[in-house]
Amino acid sequence: MAVLAVFGLPVGSSLTSLWNGSFGTPLGWSRSLVKASPLLLCGLGIGIAWKAGVFNIGGEGQFVVGGLFGGIALAVFRGAPPFVLTVLILLSAAMGGALFAGIASWMHQKRGVSVVISTILLNFVAVQLLLFAVQGPLKQTRDSLPQSETVPEAVRLARLSPQSDLHAGLLIALATLVALIIWNRYSVAAKELALVGSAPRVARANGISAEKIQRRAMAVSGALCGLAAGTEYLGINTVLDQGFSQQFGFLAIPVALMGMLSPAGIAVSSLGFGALYAGSQQMGRFERGGDTVIFVVQAVLVIGLLIANRPRASEASA
Amino acid sequence: MIAIEILRFSVPLALAALGEVVSERAGLINIGLEGIMLSSALVGYAVAASTGRPELGLLAGLIAGVVVAAFQAVLTVGFALDQVVSGVAINLLALGGTSTVYRRQFGALNPSPTLPTLGGLDIGPVLVLLFAVAVGWGLYRTKVGLQMRASGEAPRSLEAIGTSVKQIRWMAALAAGALAGLAGAYLTVGLTQTFVENATAGRGFMAIALVTFGRWKPLWVVLASVLVGGAEVLQYRLQLAGLGVPTPILLLTPYLVALIVLVIAGRGAGAPAMLGRAYENSHG
């Protein structure tokens, strides 16, 4: 509320549209879930990398390249049966994200370049690559609009209800969530990953290869961001164009942080941020600047969380 | 003159990167640099356009830079929070803040007036030269410069001889903020005369990359900035010349150049040992 007031947005009516656009109405709920699913996938991806001590800021680039690979898969496997094509597109999208994340891993491990810096720069590269593709190689042939061919109806992800945009991407995100929760609970690799992130020296002393684990964590991270793009491509956008990325890979960083990097926490925070996103779009329809204010709200929440969880002096110097 | 154009386009990168050198030498990786520049770009433009005085715009941008940097330092120095996470939050705050303010207030503000020039050059490149010398001299020839470098290499030892690491890091953070603020303001006041959403478009991040490339040495960092600034100008020129090279390919050249130089530069020899490590007083 304070944030709204600072920017001179009318607090009362803004909150009403924020509420109606998110949890206040059935349509709002479905809109929130539509935004929450890619945030959940990307957030899980970012979470796993950060947990392993790799500060992947490149979710956005991995998302965009995932979409690009999805588009390429559609063009290459055009003749395949619809369901097979759907699966191939999703797999390609995940692979694209993983490969793009792999560049940052390689730069870090072989050339000593900070992942934070390389992934940020790669985000910009990804966006331009996508633009290049939709203006040239992947451009549709109907008219001069710089966008890719539309995904055929039969290849798209199924709608969960005829009235809303809610699609099977939500189920994919939830399945990934469950898989990660189980993996976290029962696998040794998950424990090793957490150890590499929190106490790299202890991990090394126990013969765990930090490099290998971080490389894999980064690949999974990129794959999940790419998969998120695949579900958006097949479930919502159905074309690739300039507006394909809606900053999901970028917003996933605060989502993962607010979720304390744990899958269950990320599920809760992606729902919260999904609602905030959907609600702020509703707000943006009535008030100029109503939709960009979401970034401020997110930043304030993250900073609040950081301060609340700050390391105490005694721990930090130990 | 293409040389002058290259110099002018290098100014925001070079000033921001010089500030980042100070910050990183003191042990603070200033991920919020992009957000600081973006805030100053808006403030600088707004002040220059509304007062009609571009020099006031630069000054206002500098002050805005110090203010945002101070906020970040409360988190990274005061609370000793994770520097990357804090920086990400600052960037998000600046992106949301500037876009919202811009949409609500500045829908139709006029272009800001240009800076006075002498032989085609305005004050920008002069400032770069001035600050390159000042940062180099300050870091290597003054006591506080030595303390800053010690704060990045061996903060415990610095504290052991009775110097407050936090105080030194605060000074470095604010100095970096002033330079980043000037850089952001020059981008709008000196180069574009207008503000668009996300006006900095990654220049702050690029400046961080340039510091690694320039090996944390002020002069090398400035030269690296001119290289990437040159790539940016080349990209505009080629676009105007209409040689049929697709625009996105041109637009990604500066980022690609930055990535390639990082790969070539390789492992960060010369990086401050405690770069990015939060510091908490041992008797806090």
ipTM of predicted complex? 0.85
Average pLDDT for residues B239-254, to the nearest whole number? 79
Q: Which residue has the tokens 């002498």?
A: B118
Q: What is the reported pLDDT for B108?
A: 60
Residue B196 at interface with chain A, using a CB cutoff of 8 Å: no
Kindly tell me if the per-residue pLDDT of B178 is higher than 90: yes
**Cα distance from A27 to chain B (closest Cα, Å)?**
26
B89 falls within a domain: yes
Distance, CA of A69 to CA of A31 (rounded, Å):
26
Beta carbons of B92 and A125 less than 8 Å apart: no
Q: How far is A251 from chain B (nearest CA, A)?
A: 9
**Contact: A299, B280; criterion CB under 8 Å:** no
Number of domains in chain B: 1
Distance in angstroms (rounded) separating the CA atoms of residues A169 and A151: 15
- Nearest residue of B to residue A54, measured between CA atoms: B84
Q: Which range scores top for mean pLDDT: A111-115, A291-295, B1-5, B12-16?
A: B12-16
Write out pLDDT tens, residues A66-78: 999 999 999 999 8
Average pLDDT over residues A93-104: 97
Q: Which chain B residues are closer than 8 Å to A134 by Cβ?
A: none
- Whether the CB of A8 is below 8 Å from some CB of chain B: the reply is yes
- A286: which chain B residues are within 8 Å (Cβ-Cβ)? none
- pLDDT of B47 higher than 90: yes
Terminal C-alpha separation, chain B: 57
CA atoms of B157 and A98, how far apart (whole Å): 42
Q: Please, are residues A67 and A230 in contact by the beta-carbon 8 Å criterion? A: yes
Please report which confidence band the pLDDT of residue B284 belongs to, taking 50, 70 and 90 as the band edges: very low
pLDDT at residue B269, rounded to an integer: 59
**Chain segment A109-145, per-residue pLDDT in tens:** 998 888 988 998 899 899 999 999 998 888 888 887 8
Q: How confident is the model at residue A292 (pLDDT cuts 50, 70, 90)?
A: confident
**Joined tokens for residue A241:** 């164009």
Question: Nearest CA of chain A to the CA of B18: how many Å?
Answer: 17
Put simply, whether A187 touches B (Cβ < 8 Å) is: no
- CA-based nearest distance A102→chain B, Å: 14
**According to the model, what pLDDT value does residue B107 have?**
62
Chain A, residues 123-142, CB within 8 A of chain B, namely 123-125, 128-129, 131-132, 135-136
Give A1's pLDDT tier (boundaries 50, 70, 90). low
The CATH architecture annotation of domain A2-307 reads Orthogonal Bundle (1.10)
d(CA B62, CA B64) in angstroms, rounded, equals: 5
Predicted confidence at residue A316, as pLDDT, reads 43
> Distance (Å, rounded) from C-alpha B116 to C-alpha A163?
60
- Across the range A170-195, mean pLDDT stands at 93
Contact A311/B280 with Cβ under 8 angstroms?
yes
DSSP line for chain B? -HHHHHHHHHHHHHHHHHHHHHHHHTT---TTHHHHHHHHHHHHHHHHHHHS-HHHHHHHHHHHHHHHHHHHHIIIIIS---HHHHHHHHHHHHHHHHHHHHHHH-TTPPPPPPPP-BTTB-HHHHHHHHHHHHHHHHHHHSHHHHHHHHHHH-HHHHHHTT--HHHHHHHHHHHHHHHHHHHHHIIIIIIISS--TTTTTTHHHHHHHHHHHTTT-HHHHHHHHHHHHHHHHHHHHHHHHT-S--HHHHHHHHHHHHHHHHHHH-S-TT--TTTT-----TT-
Question: Which region among A39-48, A244-253, B66-75 has the lowest average model confidence (pLDDT)?
Answer: A244-253
Distance CA B177, CA B237 (A): 32
Contact A7 B100 (CB under 8 A): yes
Predicted pLDDT of residue A314: 44
A124, A299, A310: residue with CB nearest B92: A299
Distance from CA of A200 to the nearest CA of B (A): 15
The pLDDT assigned to A312 comes to 59
Judging contacts by C-beta atoms under 8 Å, the chain A residues touching residue B249 are 128, 132
- The closest of A125, A5, A257, A48 to B87, measured between CA atoms, is A257
Tell me, what DSSP letter sits at residue B81?
A: -
Which residue, A48, A17, A23, is CA-closest to A35? Answer: A23
Rounded to an integer, the average pLDDT of B95-124 is 81
Do the Cβ atoms of A299 and B89 come within 8 Å? yes
φ, ψ (nearest 5 deg) of residue A116: -55, -50
Distance CA A190, CA B228 (A): 41
Contact state of A121 with B209 under an 8 Å Cβ cutoff? yes
Residue B90 φ then ψ, to 5°: -60, -40
For residue A146, pLDDT beyond 80: yes
pLDDT band at B43 (very low <50, low <70, confident <90, very high): very high
Q: Is B56 at the interface with chain A, CB within 8 A?
A: no
Q: Which stretches of A52-114 are DSSP H helices?
A: 59-76, 82-111
Whole-number Å distance between alpha carbons of A122 and B117: 36
What is the residue range of B64's domain? 2-200
* Model confidence band, residue A318 (pLDDT cutoffs 50, 70, 90): very low
Average pLDDT, chain B: 89
Say if residue A10's pLDDT is above 60.
yes
pLDDT digits (tens, 9 = 90+) for A199-210: 888 988 888 889
- DSSP secondary-structure letter at A138? T
Interface residue B93 vs chain A (CB under 8 A): yes
Residues in chain B with CB shorter than 8 Å from the CB of A131 are 247-248, 251
> Is there a contact between B93 and A299 if contact means CB atoms under 8 Å apart?
yes
Residue B244 has pLDDT above 80, yes or no: no
Mean pLDDT of B80-108: 87
Ordered alpha helix ranges (H), B106-202: 123-141, 143-153, 155-160, 165-185
The two three-digit tokens of residue A120, written as one number? 């940020």
Q: Which of A111, A120, A211 to mutate to test the interface with B (most CBs of B within 10 A)?
A: A120
Residue B235 has pLDDT above 90, yes or no: no
Residues of B in contact with A293 (CB under 8 A): 96, 100
For chain B, say whether A118 makes contact (Cβ under 8 Å).
Answer: yes
pLDDT value at residue A308 = 86
Rounded to the nearest angstrom, the minimum Cα separation between A293 and chain B is 5
pLDDT of residue A162: 78
B206 lies in some domain: no
> Nearest CA to CA, how far is A206 from chain B (Å)?
24
Q: Provide the whole-model pTM.
A: 0.87
- pLDDT at residue B238 greater than cutoff 70: yes
A289 chain-B contacts, CB cut-off 8 A: 99-104
Q: Which residues of A touch B80 (CB under 8 A)?
A: 310-311, 316
pLDDT over threshold 50, residue A315: no
Q: How far apart are CA A1 and CA A297, in angstroms?
A: 9
How much is the pLDDT for A317?
40
Q: By CA distance, what is B201's nearest residue in A?
A: A124
Partner B, chain A 260-299, Cβ-Cβ below 8 Å: 288-289, 292-299
Burial of B130 (0-12, 13-18, 19+ CB in 10 A): exposed
Flag the least confident range among A169-178, A222-231, A285-294, B191-200.
A285-294
- Sequence-distant (6+) residues with CB within 8 A of A201 are none
Q: Does B84 touch chain A (CB under 8 A)?
A: yes
